[in-house]
Amino acid sequence: MPIYETVLDAVGGTPLIRLNRVGGAERARVLVKLEAVNPGGSIKDRIGLALIRAAEESGRLKPGGTVVEATAGNTGVGLAMAAAVLGYQSVFVVPDKMSPDKIRLLKAYGARVEIVPDVPRNDPQNYQQVAQRLADHLAGAAYMGQFEQKANPETHYRTTGPEIWEATQGQVGALVAGAGTGGTISGIGRYLKDQKPDVEVIGADPVGSIFTGPVAPFLIEGMGEDYYPDTLDADVVDRWEAVSDEEAFDMARQLARQEGILVGGSSGAIVVTALKVARDWQKSDWIVAMLPDTGRNYLSNIFREDS
C-alpha cells in the first residue's frame, strides 16, 4: 500500500463487485462500482479537487478564499474535504429534501450550510440561484459550478472511465448511471464509447425528472433534474429508464441486507435499472452499474427503523 501525501490522493481506484443475491439469474452479468469507498463516501469526491483547481486557474478563487456551491450533499463533501486540505473556507446551499445526515456531514468538515426550499431552477429561492448570489456577495468567494464546469465530466473521462475499462479488460457492454449534473454519465459514457463505440449507456432516472418526464416532485437525492445541465452530454446516453422512489429505496435496503453493500437511493435506482437491462442481455460483456454513494448518508430516512 502506498503512503499518500493527503486524503485527496486516496480518491478513486474503487472496486467492481459482482452481485450474488439480489434479482434473479440476470444479476450474473452485472458488476457494481462501489464509489462509497472514496474517503468522503461518494463519487463526487472525484470532482471536488478538479472544480477547485478550475476555479484557481480561471482566477475566480484566490488563496484564503471561500468555496461556494449548490449541492445535494455529496459534491459539497468532496469540495469541503479538498477545501480543508488546501486551506479554503466552504459554504454550501442544499435543498430541504436532503437527508439530515448529509447536512451534519458537511458541517463536520467545517462547512457553513444554508438550507432552502426544494423549488424549480427558475425560482429565486432555488439552491443554485441562492448559491450564486452568495458567491457574488461574499468577499473572496467563488461559485464552483458543478452543473456548468467542464472539469466535472472531464474528471470522469480521465479517471472513472479508464478504471472500468481496465478492470473489465475491455469486456464492458453497457454502463448504467444516474444523472444530476450529468457529469458522471457523460464523462464515463464518452470514454467507454471512444474505446468501444457499441457500448450502451443507460440513464437511470427518478419518476418526476425531466429526462423521462413529466416533471414532478421526487425523493431520490443526487439524481434527476427539472432542466438539462450544461455538463450533461445527452448524445452519450442511448436511453433513459424511469425508477420510482419506492423501487429505488427498496433496492437500497435489499443491497444492504442481501449483499452487504450499504448505499443510497440513487444506487438503488441504478441497480433496479441494471437488472432490468440484464434480463434481455444477449451479450457476454459486463453491464457496469455505478453506485454513487454510501448509505450512511441516509440512516435517518431510507434506513430508519420502520423502513
| Encoded amino acid at 75, one letter | T
CB-based contacts of 3, cutoff 8 Å, min separation 6:
none
Residues serving a catalytic function are 44
| Nine cell digits for residue 4 | 499518500
Residue 191 class from Cβ within 10 Å (0-12 exposed, 13-18 middle, 19+ buried)?
A: buried
Q: What are phi and psi of 186, to 5 degrees?
A: -70, -45
Residues 225, 180: Cα–Cα separation, whole Å:
6
Label the pairing between strands 200-206 and 286-291.
Answer: unpaired
Residues 59, 132: Cα–Cα separation, whole Å:
17
Q: Which of 301, 240, 227, 307 is nearest to 270 (CA)?
A: 240
CB-based contacts of 175, cutoff 8 Å, min separation 6:
164, 185, 188, 189, 192, 199, 200, 201, 202, 287, 288, 290
> In 162-283, at which residue ranges do the beta strands (DSSP E only) sit?
172-178, 200-206, 239-243
| Nine cell digits for residue 200 | 450502451
